[in-house]
């Protein structure tokens, strides 16, 4: 279901419900304070905040302003992780599945303007084979063991179920709660439900507008960046022409933004958009007809205190660090990010590969899990939310599924998603799914995508520390991909690095090794014309669940978690600066 990003204008209103709410775990009588939006996990030294598995309750009072009489009033959750039940004065009014996409709950029939009610949101962080991302019940030890006690625990028979342990089948902390803004919004009763824009480089803009109610005519007016009207049209569908259009170009070009001002009856919505085209041609990725080379680290939504909480200050800081590094892109590994980030990237010219939360589909025969319909729904919702962003240039259906154990079953699962993404996206962007280091000669999915995205850790997880051997193996694989005649992006590669750990000899975990690792991989990439991008793993150190491979989280950041550059950030900054100049 599409839901337009909340807007305040002459027709619409929005009240931010952020602040300090009440919060409690099941069985607790006492409520305690919790900040919204933010993950709840790092807001207290009580270990339950970090480790609790299951439902938690959020509570606050809400009042519809009397001045909103006669309007359609909704609660708008930008996301609630992972599943959420919404109650008003103890009565359930909505349930939403999935933790990374927005939903609206109409208050009509539940609450009148001028009335106050208690809003409760139950969020559920349980992950398993029916959720995206995926959780697993097994595997709490690193090495196998003949010890019967360990085996019993590993088999998931004891403790894990009793204590409700559900392990992420992915490498980031399972942050939860009301992590994105919550608002009360108001629109006229007859309103604009959705806007779709398909611009072309010649200045043609096709539009379609979905409305609720019949009264009134739809009008579309295009405003330039100074707010001056440059074109206009009428009707629910149509096409107009912007003369001598300014194109939206990735940084360091000008990411020029227009606004489509849509009116319908009493309602008004201003939708920003850019005029740009993306296309794959042979082994090239074209933006506005020109070859584009992706270079920028993958990200996470992750920071101290906030966890995965939406934080505009952090977003602006991060994007300014992308500019500083001469980076031009990132992938929203491994879930759709908060909408504010896409709006910022539209404005700043940072290109995004937009990823569904399908991560962790690598074990225990994922293609027997009955996930396909839900995955399809999440993909459709992500495309509906993000379709108008010029910064989004490619869809990623998921990260590192097992595609080689059962190649045919994997293809039967992923191909319909690939086709659906093309069908659902009005701008028909390229589609991919990110491949893990597997038997690339056997699997069939990754090579069937428009652009091949592969994550590789030669020299880290394999051939650890031996960069000469890693180079040999990586080159051999690149030879194979070259014969597939598709553009390729190295969508992850990296080395855990403890900031401040140095060595005259570049050994694993030192800053020197991280630089040597990037030197080695870059040398291999520079030899190949079909390589259209490099996305190091990761922009910054980030939190994961604890384990013997993780020292206070994943340390593959080019920056520390508090955004201080390691030596490799300086090295890549120089490399990308030269690339940018070419
Ligand atoms: C991967 C995953 C990413 C991990 C990374 C690592 O392949 O896609 O989520 O964090 O490797 O550091 O192991």
Residues 6+ apart with CB under 8 A from 302: 172, 173, 175, 308, 540, 542, 543, 561
CA of 231 to the centre of ligand 1 (A): 47
- Whose C-alpha lies nearest to ligand 1, atom 2? 171
DSSP conformation letters of 350-416:
-EEEEE-S-B-TTSS-GGGS--HHHHHHHHHHHHHHHTT-TTEEEEEEEE----SSSHHHHHHHHHH
CA of 527 to the centre of ligand 1 (A): 25
Cis ω on the peptide bond leading into residue 334 (within 30° of 0)? yes
* 3-class DSSP state of 212: strand
Measured from the Cα of 494, ligand 1's closest atom is 12
CA of 362 to the centre of ligand 1 (A): 12
- Whose C-alpha lies nearest to ligand 1, atom 4? 171
CA-wise closest residue to 35 among 49, 47, 19: 19
Domain with CATH 3.20.20.80 in the chain: 290-581
CA of 487 to the centre of ligand 1 (A): 22
CA of 428 to the centre of ligand 1 (A): 28
Measured from the Cα of 461, ligand 1's closest atom is 13
* 3-class DSSP state of 192: strand
- Whose C-alpha lies nearest to ligand 1, atom 9? 171
Residues 6+ apart with CB under 8 A from 63: 114, 115, 116, 117
Quote the pLDDT of residue 161.
Answer: 54
CA of 171 to the centre of ligand 1 (A): 6
Give the predicted TM-score (pTM) of the model.
0.97
- Whose C-alpha lies nearest to ligand 1, atom 13? 171
CA of 364 to the centre of ligand 1 (A): 19
What's the order of all strands across the beta sheet hosting 72-77? 13-16, 182-187, 72-77, 103-106
Identify the bridge partners of residue 432 per DSSP, sorted by sequence position: 396
* 3-class DSSP state of 279: strand
User: What is the rounded CA–CA span in Å between residue 541 and residue 557?
Assistant: 4
Quote the pLDDT of residue 544.
Answer: 96
User: What is the rounded CA–CA span in Å between residue 58 and residue 81?
Assistant: 12
Q: Which CATH architecture best describes the domain 190-276?
A: Sandwich (2.60)
CA-wise closest residue to 135 among 181, 89, 83: 83
CA of 342 to the centre of ligand 1 (A): 23
Substitution candidate for ligand 1 out of 171, 438, 538 with most atoms within 8 A of CB:
171
CA-wise closest residue to 252 among 317, 323, 201: 323
Measured from the Cα of 544, ligand 1's closest atom is 10
Quote the pLDDT of residue 580.
Answer: 86
What's the order of all strands across the beta sheet hosting 267-273? 229-234, 218-223, 258-264, 267-273
CA of 494 to the centre of ligand 1 (A): 9
Measured from the Cα of 334, ligand 1's closest atom is 9
Measured from the Cα of 549, ligand 1's closest atom is 13
- Whose C-alpha lies nearest to ligand 1, atom 5? 171
* 3-class DSSP state of 551: coil
Substitution candidate for ligand 1 out of 169, 358, 455, 538 with most atoms within 8 A of CB:
455
Q: Identify the residues whose C-beta falls under 6 Å from ligand 1.
A: 170-171, 334, 399-400, 436, 455, 492, 537, 554, 556
Residues 6+ apart with CB under 8 A from 116: 61, 62, 63
Measured from the Cα of 400, ligand 1's closest atom is 8
Per run of 10 residues, the mean pLDDT along the chain (length 582 residues) is 90 98 97 98 96 95 97 98 96 97 97 98 93 78 64 65 73 97 98 98 98 92 98 97 98 97 97 98 98 98 98 98 98 98 98 97 80 97 98 98 94 97 98 94 97 98 97 98 98 98 98 98 98 98 93 97 98 96 81
Quote the pLDDT of residue 147.
Answer: 74
Cβ pair 560, 552 in contact under 8 A: no
Measured from the Cα of 455, ligand 1's closest atom is 7
User: What is the rounded CA–CA span in Å between residue 135 and residue 157?
Assistant: 16
Quote the pLDDT of residue 370.
Answer: 87
Quote the pLDDT of residue 231.
Answer: 98
Quote the pLDDT of residue 164.
Answer: 61
φ/ψ of residue 431, rounded to 5: -125, 145
Question: For the structural domain made of 290-581, what CATH number should be given?
Answer: 3.20.20.80
Substitution candidate for ligand 1 out of 360, 457, 537, 543 with most atoms within 8 A of CB:
537
Quote the pLDDT of residue 172.
Answer: 97
Domain with CATH 2.60.40.10 in the chain: 190-276
Cβ pair 7, 15 in contact under 8 A: no
Quote the pLDDT of residue 362.
Answer: 84
Substitution candidate for ligand 1 out of 554, 555, 558, 561 with most atoms within 8 A of CB:
554
CA of 278 to the centre of ligand 1 (A): 28
- Whose C-alpha lies nearest to ligand 1, atom 6? 171
Catalytic residues: 400, 492
User: What is the rounded CA–CA span in Å between residue 222 and residue 351?
Assistant: 23
Measured from the Cα of 434, ligand 1's closest atom is 8
Domain with CATH 2.60.120.260 in the chain: 13-134+169-185
What's the order of all strands across the beta sheet hosting 237-241? 191-199, 204-212, 237-241
Cis ω on the peptide bond leading into residue 20 (within 30° of 0)? no
Quote the pLDDT of residue 159.
Answer: 60
Cβ pair 250, 283 in contact under 8 A: no
Identify the CATH assignment for 13-134+169-185 out of 3.40.50.1820, 3.90.1150.10, 3.40.640.10, 2.60.120.260.
2.60.120.260
């Amino acid at each position: 279901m599409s839901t337009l990003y909340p807007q305040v204008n002459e027709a619409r209103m929005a009240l931010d419900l952020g602040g300090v709410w009440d919060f409690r775990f099941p069985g607790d009588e006492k409520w305690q304070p919790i900040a919204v939006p933010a993950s709840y996990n790092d807001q207290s030294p009580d270990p339950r905040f970090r480790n609790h598995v299951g439902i938690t309750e959020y509570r606050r009072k809400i009042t519809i302003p009397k001045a909103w009489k006669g309007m359609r009033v909704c609660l708008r959750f930008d996301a609630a992780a992972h599943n959420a039940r919404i109650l008003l004065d103890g009565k359930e009014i909505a349930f939403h599945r999935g933790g990374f996409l927005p939903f609206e709950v109409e208050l009509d029939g539940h609450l009148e303007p001028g009335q106050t009610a208690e809003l409760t949101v139950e969020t559920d962080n349980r992950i398993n084979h029916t959720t995206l991302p995926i959780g697993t019940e097994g595997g709490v030890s690193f090495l196998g063991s003949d010890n019967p006690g360990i085996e019993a625990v590993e088999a998931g028979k004891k403790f894990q179920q009793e204590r409700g342990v559900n392990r992420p089948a992915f490498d980031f902390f399972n942050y939860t709660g009301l992590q994105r803004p919550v608002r009360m919004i108001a629109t006229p009763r007859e309103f604009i439900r959705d806007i779709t824009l398909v611009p072309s480089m010649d200045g043609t803009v096709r539009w379609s507008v979905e409305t609720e109610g019949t009264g009134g005519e739809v009008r579309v007016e295009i405003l330039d960046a100074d707010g001056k009207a440059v074109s206009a049209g009428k009707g629910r569908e149509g096409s107009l022409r912007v003369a001598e259009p300014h194109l939206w170009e990735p940084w360091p070009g000008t990411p020029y933004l227009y606004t489509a001002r849509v009116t319908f009856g009493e309602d008004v919505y201003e939708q920003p958009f850019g005029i740009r085209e993306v296309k794959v041609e042979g082994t090239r990725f074209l933006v506005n007809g020109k070859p584009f080379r992706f270079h920028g680290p993958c990200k996470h939504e992750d920071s101290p205190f906030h966890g995965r909480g939406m934080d505009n200050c952090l977003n602006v800081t991060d994007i300014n660090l992308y500019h500083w590094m001469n980076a031009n892109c990132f992938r929203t590994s491994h879930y759709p990010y908060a909408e504010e980030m896409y709006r910022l990237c539209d404005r700043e010219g940072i290109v995004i590969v937009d990823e569904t939360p399908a991560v962790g589909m690598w074990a225990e025969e994922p293609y027997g899990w009955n996930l396909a319909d839900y995955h399809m729904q999440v993909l459709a919702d992500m495309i509906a939310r993000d379709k108008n962003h010029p910064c989004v240039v490619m869809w990623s259906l998921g990260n590192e599924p097992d595609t080689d154990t059962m190649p045919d079953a994997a293809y039967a699962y992923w191909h319909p998603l690939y086709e659906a993404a093309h069908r659902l996206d009005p701008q028909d962007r390229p589609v991919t799914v990110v491949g893990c280091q597997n038997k690339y000669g056997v699997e069939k999915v990754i090579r069937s995508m428009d652009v091949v995205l592969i994550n590789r850790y030669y020299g880290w997880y394999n051939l650890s520390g031996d960069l000469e051997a890693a180079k040999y193996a990586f080159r051999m694989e690149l030879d194979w991909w070259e014969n597939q005649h598709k553009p390729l992006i190295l969508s992850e590669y990296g080395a855990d690095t403890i900031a401040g750990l140095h060595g005259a000899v570049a050994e694993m975990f030192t800053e020197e090794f991280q630089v040597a690792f990037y030197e080695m991989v870059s040398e291999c990439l520079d030899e190949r014309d079909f390589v259209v991008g490099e996305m190091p793993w990761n922009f910054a150190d980030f939190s994961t669940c604890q384990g013997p491979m993780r020292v206070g989280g994943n340390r593959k950041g080019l920056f520390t978690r508090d955004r201080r550059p390691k030596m490799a950030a300086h090295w890549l900054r120089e490399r990308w600066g030269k690339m940018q100049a070419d």
